[in-house]
Amino acid sequence: MPEKRFRTPAGQRILAAAEELFYDRGITAVGVDLIAEHSGLTKRTLYNQFGSKDHLVSAYLTERDRRWRSLVHDTVDACDDPVAAVTAPFDALRAWSRTNTRGCAFINALAELPDPAHPAHRIAADQKHWLLNLFRKLAAAAGCAQPATLATRLLVLHEGALATQPLALDTLPESTRLARSLVRASLRNGGPEGTHR
Amino acid sequence: MPEKRFRTPAGQRILAAAEELFYDRGITAVGVDLIAEHSGLTKRTLYNQFGSKDHLVSAYLTERDRRWRSLVHDTVDACDDPVAAVTAPFDALRAWSRTNTRGCAFINALAELPDPAHPAHRIAADQKHWLLNLFRKLAAAAGCAQPATLATRLLVLHEGALATQPLALDTLPESTRLARSLVRASLRNGGPEGTHR
DNA sequence: CGCAAAGTACACTGATCTGTGAACCACCCA
DNA sequence: TGGGTGGTTCACAGATCAGTGTACTTTGCG
């Protein structure tokens, strides 16, 4: 059962418990017994619903990705100014970080699951490509010069702020400021500074 | 045995095997039996030398930190231009990435070891603080305006390039270009762009 | 009523994990 | 020559892990 569109209420509760535990304590460190216990359901139900721990891990990452994209879309849509919309993912990250302080779930998952054949790799790669592409589209829509280059820079800033988050260095505000200034600069002159040569 | 200054040859070989396996496959996923087998030594020797897997993990991170700092120091020292020296860690990262393609070992370790009491947390936090402070000192030495703010931005770019490395997006070149342009901008006018307000 | 789907209770398998005990061996050096 | 240090061999303990088999109960619905 690689994917499942409609999940039973018990399946949803198990997935919710898995999301919390996997993110907070790490995927390998959390056993299926613990997930069953935290969800109030039985291990048998877990296996009836998800088939294996690997499939549950995939469902965890897929669901988290869905929630994150939904938040970013909402934040972008709430911007009436197309220039402000370019850095809307940074605003979404600020809100997201209030309840998620253990860094990026996908980077963390890749750290624990080095096998490139594991579905987690595709999910993680897809998410970052999606964000890169979103930055590019938003930059182009705002009339930024060289949207591809700008998008790469914004992605690096975004991931850098996210990666340093567990270290409590409070890098997000400065990253956001720099991101906004890069967008402004790409509107003022014919391209972001430092691109020539 | 929390630290050990002088290690026996067998201890060095075990540590070398542990470094490779922990980084490539993840800490939790690698057992002590596998490390013993890869090093050609016995599990008994491993425990005689390191006492526990946790201590071996600490030794792994400490040794990796030492090698990375050594590379950065050498790269900085090889710069005759103090302005180029500010972004020398990005050049060091380029060389480092040729053989280390699984991202930051410390971020990865934090993902697997969520317990803040684990020594890995202190080692990882120390490393990032060290790099942030190095950026600050190099920026000040080069005459950059607002070296603290610049250092934070450079650290975010550095960590962003490192975090996205396993995703094969090739973000390091663009991160390095942007880092250099930020340094240049902080020399030209009274501070990096976008800092006012 | 009768059936099927969803979930429970619980024992259990086989593998793997960290860590230990104890006897033994090779080498170096006083 | 005789310890002492460093390493080996190998069995083993105790815990935990993913995953299964089976019989039972509940609930909703035709």
Give the residue with greater pLDDT, A196 vs A101. A101
Dig out the tokens for A35 from the structure: 């997930």
Residue of A nearest to B112 (CA): A26
Q: Look at residues A93, A128, A161 and name the one whose alpha carbon lies nearest to residue B155.
A: A161
Q: Is strand D within 7 Å of residue A33 (CB)?
A: yes
Model pLDDT, residue B5: 59
Question: How far, in Å, CA of B157 to CA of A156, rounded?
Answer: 6
pLDDT band at B27 (very low <50, low <70, confident <90, very high): very high
Mutant choice from B25, B132, B159 vs A, greatest count of A C-beta within 10 A: B159
Model pLDDT, residue B189: 62
pLDDT at A69 over 50: yes
Residues of chain A neighbouring B149 (CB-CB closer than 8 A): 174
Token match 């390091």: residue? B172
* pLDDT tens-digit map of B118-176: 999 999 999 999 999 999 999 999 999 999 999 999 999 999 999 999 999 999 999 99
- What is the CA A8 to C1' D28 distance in angstroms? 14
Distance of CA B151 to the CA centre of its chain: 16
pLDDT at B2 over 50: no
Instruction: Give me the percent of chain A exceeding a pLDDT of 70.
Output: 93
Q: Look at residues B69, B67, B179, B79 and name the one whose alpha carbon lies nearest to residue B128.
A: B69
pLDDT at A196 over 80: no
Both ends of chain B: CA-CA distance in Å?
52
Q: Which CATH class is domain A58-188?
A: mainly alpha
Report the pLDDT averaged over residues B63-77: 98
Model pLDDT, residue A188: 83
Question: How far, in Å, CA of A147 to CA of A138, rounded?
Answer: 8
Comparing A136-140, A192-196, B174-178, the range with the smallest average pLDDT is A192-196
- CA of A45: nearest nucleotide by C1' is C7
DSSP A166: G
Query: pTM for the full model?
Result: 0.93
**Which one-letter amino acid corresponds to residue A15?**
L
Q: Is strand C within 7 Å of residue B94 (CB)?
A: no
Q: What is the residue extent of each domain of chain B?
A: 56-188
Q: Would you identify the CATH topology of the domain A1-51? A: Arc Repressor Mutant, subunit A (1.10.10)
Q: Nearest CA to CA, how far is A55 from chain B (Å)?
A: 18
Q: Is strand D within 7 Å of residue B11 (CB)?
A: yes
* pLDDT tens-digit map of A146-179: 999 999 999 999 999 999 999 999 999 999 999 9
Model pLDDT, residue A6: 74
Instruction: Give me the percent of chain A exceeding a pLDDT of 90.
Output: 91
Dig out the tokens for A179 from the structure: 């991101």
For B100, phi then psi, to 5°, come to -130, 100
Q: Is strand C within 7 Å of residue B10 (CB)?
A: no
Q: Which CATH class is domain B56-188?
A: mainly alpha
Model pLDDT, residue B197: 38
Is there a contact between A86 and A135 (Cβ–Cβ < 8 Å)? yes
Q: What is the DSSP string of chain B?
A: ----SS--HHHHHHHHHHHHHHHHH-TTT--HHHHHHHHTS-HHHHHHHHSSHHHHHHHHHHHHHHHHHHHHHHHHHT-SSHHHHHTHHHHHHHHHHTT--S--HHHHHHHH---TTSHHHHHHHHHHHHHHHHHHHHHHHTT-SSHHHHHHHHHHHHHHHHHTGGGT---HHHHHHHHHHHHHHHHHSSS-TT---
Give the list of residues 6+ apart from residue B19 with CB closer than 8 angstroms, or none: B60, B63, B64
Q: Do A164 and B159 touch (CB under 8 A)?
A: yes
pLDDT band at A130 (very low <50, low <70, confident <90, very high): very high
Model pLDDT, residue A97: 97
* pLDDT tens-digit map of A83-107: 999 999 999 999 999 999 999 999 9
